[in-house]
Structure 1
Amino acid sequence: MAIPDRSVLVLYGSETGNAQDMAEELGRLCARQHFRTQVDELDAIDLSALLQHGLVVFVISTTGQGDMPHNSLLFWRKLLRKKLPPGCLAQLRYTCFGLGDSTYVKFNWAARKLIRRLENLGATTFFENSEADERFPDGIEGAFSTWAGRLFDHLLVEHPHPDCLQPIPEDSILPPRWSLAPALDAIQNRYNGVKKVEEPLRTGPPPSRLLPIPDGWDATLVENKRLTPMTHWQDVRLVSFDIPIRAPGDQLQCNPGDCLTIYSKNFPEDVDKLITLLDWQSIADQPLDLTLCPSLPRGLFTPQPCTIRNILLENVDITAVPRRSFLRSISHFAEDKDQRDRLLEFTQLDFIDEYFDYATRSRRSILEVLEEFHSVRLPAHRLLDVFPLIRGRDFSIANSGASTSATPSSEPSTTTRVDLLVALVRYRTILRKPRQGLCSRYLASLAVPSRLSVSHKPALSPIHGPANARRPLVAMATGTGIAPVRCLVHERLSHPDPGPMYLFFGNRNRTADYFFEDEWEALERAGRLKVFTAFSRDQDRKVYVQHLVRREALLMAELIPQNAIFAVCGGSNKMADACKEAVFEPYKEAGDAVAREKELESLTWWQEIW
């Protein structure tokens, strides 16, 4: 009798990292049942690889306007090729877990499109597909944990090991997927016992080395200006970069909806504290040859020479809220039994509320966890296997990316100016120490003319270009959500005869946070833009953007049949829902509801909520 194929391929399409984290967790789940497991991003896989594994698990998030994540677009184009014959994936047995947010119009469309296409090509499921919603009471984490637990039980029953091997228990640690052991072992031999290193950076701002970002750009900070008054509770910055051409004819081109990705770094004092906690002082500053390691995780952008301290400063996110998988991993290295038991308790599904209270709701950092569970002695070679990497943070570009030149005007432009509108994240939880975002702290520390490596992320659902510029635009934005709207307005004004534009902007106070007020007023005086503002704290009765939109129901009813573009941008899901109701409900109530409902289905509703 043939031995069943016990290989599992886990593939992820991830925009912010959630899907990737869950795919890694599923990989560990399958490894505990002795499956040969491979975890990778969708774009790294050829279609033929799908048929080389007994089971395939997809974990995919939906981004933008029902779009596939950027690291799955190449795979998706391959899957859509017309020359693929029906039934070509008949041997594929798969399951899919989708991540989405029901406040978006096209909820979980990426997973649904993927499933539909796989079915068209003959693939069948071996386990029920599932979807998670950011709006669930337990969030995506709760839905995933429940589904993953059922998947584990299913594999145990339906795909038992032919030699009756029992799963590797949770209290036994798996071999590392990525190990620094070869590089660490080589230190003594390479230097024959004499290890000369430079004096490590232990205080001050993060290091200024440029990271080798694939397809990255070298950016120079030219402005880091606070827009809100010093007395205001929130620090909002206009952060501007000049980005030169990489080669003749290779200049950055920006469109509305595009993002610039910033790669943050840690502060030396935090890294030094972690090195001390884990007792890595003797090896932290020894040069590492990472080429000796058989494999390294995607997203590890490490210049040479490299040390453990460099990796911690530039690549490892020690300020992230720890996932349950991280707590489980470090529990194996807790020398104190009570601390080990407590860490394991956080990872149990029955105690998920305690995990949320301890980590998620309080926004406790990995560094703070290691300070509390001080008996943890993680071996340095497991650094990359246990700690999450710093992921690039996407910021909507706030201008049209106009070109500039340091040479006389007759010369071609050599630099693209990029503006970002950044609200520095600082808040309080039940913990005494105020919380601060890693990227916020990093950006606040940068002084002109700092240089850093960035990358450009194009919009997947474009609403720009000459044809779109002639359509009416209704933009509804709150706070820093005005950034992509400003970019869109700039781009439309660059075309002849743009359509009418209406801006509904809301924030707390006109005097404190009316961003780009002078620009909007100048455009309104010129008759090129109509502005409606709602500053909720400037009067006793709070007025929000959606209230102003509903008051203009007649204007909305006039614009909808003109194929208007509706753009909603900001940081509130409730605001997005309320704006949609303010547009849709009066329009349906003023006529044939059924006919108008159908008309609204084809409406261009572009939403950017974070």
Structure 2
Amino acid sequence: MPRRARPEGVTSGRSRKSEVSAGPGLRSLGREARRRRLGCRVQALDSYPVVNLINEPLVIFVCATTGQGDPPDNMKNFWRFIFRKNLPSTSLCQMDFAVLGLGDSSYAKFNFVAKKLYRRLLQLGGTALLPVCLGDDQHELGPDAAIDPWLHTLWEKVLGLHPMPIGLDVIPPGVPLPSKFALQFFQEAPEMCSGEQRGARTEPQSPPSELQPFLARMVTNRRVTGPSHFQDVRLIEFDITGSGINFAAGDVVLILPQNAASHVQQFCQALGLDPDQCFMLQPREPDVSCPERLPQPCSVRHLVSQYLDIASVPRRSFFELLACLSPHELERDKLLELSSPAGQEELSQYCSRPRRTALEVLCDFPHTAAAIPPDYLLDLIPPIRPRAFSIASSLLARPSRLQILMAVVQYQTRLKEPRRGLCSSWLASLDPEQGPVQVPLWVRPGGLTFPQAPDTPVIMVGPGTGVAPFRAAVQERVAQGRTENFLFFGCRQRDQDFYWEAEWKELEERGCLSLVTAFSRDQERKVYVQHRLRELGPLVWELLDHRGAYFYLAGNAKYMPADVSEALTSIFREEGGLSGPEAAAYLARLQRTLRYQTETWA
């Protein structure tokens, strides 16, 4: 039964720039609201008229954090509005709210957006139903470790304010809710309804976006690590002629990957689907719209290969819905156990830790998989999210070209089959020398911005593939006649993963670049970029304190950012004569004024 309470949400697609996707939290909240007969809308905040907030009695915000404590792209307009200084302190006095943050504690700005939003809503007069929830992807049980008890309290509070209508109860977890969409199948020639790349384009219209990406021709796909190196790293170049795409150093390119053809076939076999069959998608509720990325009509092959993320590691909600749909007693009992609060450790052991995919889970529960109604496919499997890569080239140096430096993700768990990154494996499999290859992509501003003043030095620390945005910055700055470029690059071995060695040396000879290297495995004692920073402490202090240099850091978020920060504070103490607290305050001031910027990923 529709109710006046209308939870709203904000989501962000996961990328290397984002702590974690908020999508699973939104789906779970929306489903649980429906079970409690609450008429709700679940939508991105930038698609919601923010001025209507003053009329909402109950709002639940779900938000991730990107970049350096920044809101996700689909929250930025809302973010600017909600922090306007002229908003009255009583603006939201009629609104009850709750904030759920989905984050990753390996990031320095862990759940920063959720914390800041919570404080701002209180400032505007909103009433918090309970403290902000800080979900952590690094917890051994994932974000659910914090979310489960928080949700239990939340629904108690909500039902206290908005009790169930007389004669109605909460729909129990074992009863499936109606699917959001109906798939109306029909017989048609596959070429009439496959819709391959219908949303993409090769000619200029409006700026490319997720809903209308540009089909860029892959020009080269070359391995740049040595044959004996443990990691396959690719330099990939795209031709963006006629796209209207423009970008600057620090920007990122987003790429929509596809599932492997073998996985598409395996998925269709497990669910008894004909990949060449066509369907029309019809929403079951008036306020639900069809995904704009899906063409109408659409083939099953297009849906599975280009939309459903069957290679993702499923969340608990996946098992909850499977249990509701399963006709097989033994499989249903196991699915109920895995989706119960008491079964979260077993779910972690079975799925999260070994990184078992949705497709592999379905193959482990064959009777359940074969009985899944096609109408529930979009409820069960999330959409493929675009992957973001730092752009590694400048239009000033390579007009109409865009390059990325990509490490192919592959690692072993206790499962027999190696785990592979969806996007990196797909891109690595494409060979432009065997025929034309087109990749859907678009560009957005990144988290790094470089100074406009021509005489401002920049210090860039980019170990491994973290050097990618700095290659774009060096190319751009050199083309503009800016030669005060100091690059600290680190890798394992000079002869295996020293990216762009010849290019850096040529720029050094021209006086356009000062390069400092750290090859950690080329000597008995491991040497990293933070060691080189300390060795050149007088130069770093001179550049930062006397010449107003900007400092940039990009790379893995696990240990390196903390080690570099420690090296900097040590330099501030030793070269600047600052005390420990003064050195920490100096670093904080650099961060606050954007003279210290980081782009890291877990």
Deviation at 1:117, TM superposition (A): 3.1
The residue identity in structure 2 corresponding to 1:381 is: D
Deviation at 1:147, TM superposition (A): 2.2
Candidates 7, 10, 23, aligned match of 1:9: 7
Task: Tell me, yes or no, if structure 1 residue 515 matches structure 2 residue 503.
Answer: no
**Deviation digits for residues 76-134 of structure 1, max 9, x if unmatched?**
23324455444222212111122334454444332233233323332221222122344
- Segments of 5+ residues of structure 1 without an aligned counterpart are 405-414
Deviation at 1:67, TM superposition (A): 1.0
Q: Which moves more between the two structures, 255-264 or 292-301?
A: 292-301
**Deviation digits for residues 538-558 of structure 1, max 9, x if unmatched?**
222222222222222222322
Deviation at 1:424, TM superposition (A): 0.8
Task: Tell me, yes or no, if structure 1 residue 367 matches structure 2 residue 354.
Answer: no
Task: Tell me, yes or no, if structure 1 residue 343 matches structure 2 residue 328.
Answer: no
The answer for the alignment partner of 1:68 in structure 2 is 71
Deviation at 1:200, TM superposition (A): 11
The answer for the alignment partner of 2:411 in structure 1 is 427
Q: Give the SS at the match of 2:6.
A: strand
Q: Structure 1 residues 239, 74: CA separation in 2 closer, same or farther (over 3 Å shift)?
A: same
The residue identity in structure 2 corresponding to 1:552 is: L
Candidates 368, 377, 385, aligned match of 1:383: 377
TM-score normalised to structure 1 length: 0.87
Deviation at 1:337, TM superposition (A): 1.4
Candidates 236, 241, 255, aligned match of 2:238: 241
Candidates 514, 524, 532, aligned match of 2:508: 524
The answer for the alignment partner of 1:180 in structure 2 is 182
The answer for the alignment partner of 1:408 in structure 2 is none
Q: Which moves more between the two structures, 37-46 or 50-59?
A: 50-59
Deviation at 1:266, TM superposition (A): 1.5
Candidates 455, 463, 479, aligned match of 2:464: 479
**Structure 2: distance between partners of 1:18 and 1:429:** 23
Q: Structure 1 residues 121, 303: CA separation in 2 closer, same or farther (over 3 Å shift)?
A: same
Q: Give the SS at the match of 1:18.
A: coil
TM-score normalised to structure 2 length: 0.88
Q: Give the SS at the match of 1:224.
A: strand
The residue identity in structure 2 corresponding to 1:416 is: S
Question: For 1:457-496, what aligned pairs fall within 5 Å after superposition?
Answer: 457-459=444-446, 461-467=447-453, 470-496=455-481
The residue identity in structure 2 corresponding to 1:464 is: F
The answer for the alignment partner of 1:288 in structure 2 is 279
**Structure 1: distance between partners of 2:397 and 2:505:** 25
Q: Structure 1 residues 78, 594: CA separation in 2 closer, same or farther (over 3 Å shift)?
A: closer
- Segments of 5+ residues of structure 2 without an aligned counterpart are 15-19, 202-209
**Structure 2: distance between partners of 1:583 and 1:134:** 29
The answer for the alignment partner of 1:579 in structure 2 is 564
Deviation at 1:297, TM superposition (A): 6.4
Please tell me whether the aligned partners of residues 566 and 606 of structure 1 are also in contact (alpha carbons under 8 angstroms): yes
Q: Give the SS at the match of 1:7.
A: coil
**Structure 2: distance between partners of 1:96 and 1:441:** 36
The residue identity in structure 1 corresponding to 2:449 is: I
Please tell me whether the aligned partners of residues 299 and 389 of structure 1 are also in contact (alpha carbons under 8 angstroms): no
Task: Tell me, yes or no, if structure 1 residue 306 matches structure 2 residue 298.
Answer: yes
Please tell me whether the aligned partners of residues 334 and 340 of structure 1 are also in contact (alpha carbons under 8 angstroms): yes
**Structure 2: distance between partners of 1:472 and 1:234:** 33
The answer for the alignment partner of 2:217 in structure 1 is 220
**Structure 1: distance between partners of 2:45 and 2:321:** 26
Please tell me whether the aligned partners of residues 8 and 30 of structure 1 are also in contact (alpha carbons under 8 angstroms): no
Please tell me whether the aligned partners of residues 281 and 290 of structure 2 are also in contact (alpha carbons under 8 angstroms): no
Deviation at 1:374, TM superposition (A): 0.6
The residue identity in structure 2 corresponding to 1:522 is: E
Q: Structure 1 residues 42, 4: CA separation in 2 closer, same or farther (over 3 Å shift)?
A: closer
The answer for the alignment partner of 2:596 in structure 1 is 605
Deviation at 1:517, TM superposition (A): 0.9
The residue identity in structure 1 corresponding to 2:304 is: L
Please tell me whether the aligned partners of residues 103 and 577 of structure 1 are also in contact (alpha carbons under 8 angstroms): no
The residue identity in structure 2 corresponding to 1:290 is: L
Candidates 9, 22, 26, aligned match of 1:19: 22
**Structure 2: distance between partners of 1:397 and 1:470:** 24
Q: Give the SS at the match of 2:295.
A: coil
The answer for the alignment partner of 1:440 in structure 2 is 424
The answer for the alignment partner of 1:401 in structure 2 is 395
**Deviation digits for residues 524-543 of structure 1, max 9, x if unmatched?**
22232222222222222222
The residue identity in structure 1 corresponding to 2:459 is: V
Deviation at 1:452, TM superposition (A): 2.6
Please tell me whether the aligned partners of residues 221 and 235 of structure 2 are also in contact (alpha carbons under 8 angstroms): yes
**Structure 2: distance between partners of 1:300 and 1:506:** 43
Q: Which moves more between the two structures, 230-239 or 311-320?
A: 230-239
Candidates 520, 528, 551, aligned match of 2:535: 551
The residue identity in structure 2 corresponding to 1:268 is: A
**Structure 1: distance between partners of 2:506 and 2:148:** 53
Q: Structure 1 residues 333, 99: CA separation in 2 closer, same or farther (over 3 Å shift)?
A: closer
The residue identity in structure 2 corresponding to 1:18 is: S
Please tell me whether the aligned partners of residues 102 and 134 of structure 2 are also in contact (alpha carbons under 8 angstroms): yes
**Deviation digits for residues 405-432 of structure 1, max 9, x if unmatched?**
xxxxxxxxxx621000011111111001
**Structure 2: distance between partners of 1:463 and 1:582:** 23
Please tell me whether the aligned partners of residues 207 and 313 of structure 1 are also in contact (alpha carbons under 8 angstroms): no
The residue identity in structure 2 corresponding to 1:504 is: F
Deviation at 1:564, TM superposition (A): 2.4
The residue identity in structure 1 corresponding to 2:259 is: N
Please tell me whether the aligned partners of residues 281 and 297 of structure 2 are also in contact (alpha carbons under 8 angstroms): no
Q: Structure 1 residues 122, 76: CA separation in 2 closer, same or farther (over 3 Å shift)?
A: same
Task: Tell me, yes or no, if structure 1 residue 456 matches structure 2 residue 439.
Answer: no
**Structure 1: distance between partners of 2:237 and 2:332:** 47
Task: Tell me, yes or no, if structure 1 residue 258 matches structure 2 residue 251.
Answer: yes
Q: Structure 1 residues 314, 13: CA separation in 2 closer, same or farther (over 3 Å shift)?
A: closer
Q: Structure 1 residues 478, 497: CA separation in 2 closer, same or farther (over 3 Å shift)?
A: closer
Question: For 1:147-166, what aligned pairs fall within 5 Å after superposition?
Answer: 147-163=150-166, 165-166=168-169
Say how many residue pairs are matched.
Answer: 575
**Structure 2: distance between partners of 1:135 and 1:553:** 34
Question: For 1:20-169, what aligned pairs fall within 5 Å after superposition?
Answer: 20-81=23-84, 84-163=87-166, 165-169=168-172
Question: For 1:307-346, what aligned pairs fall within 5 Å after superposition?
Answer: 307-346=299-338
Please tell me whether the aligned partners of residues 62 and 99 of structure 2 are also in contact (alpha carbons under 8 angstroms): yes
The residue identity in structure 2 corresponding to 1:286 is: Q
Percent identity of paired positions between Structure 1 and Structure 2: 36
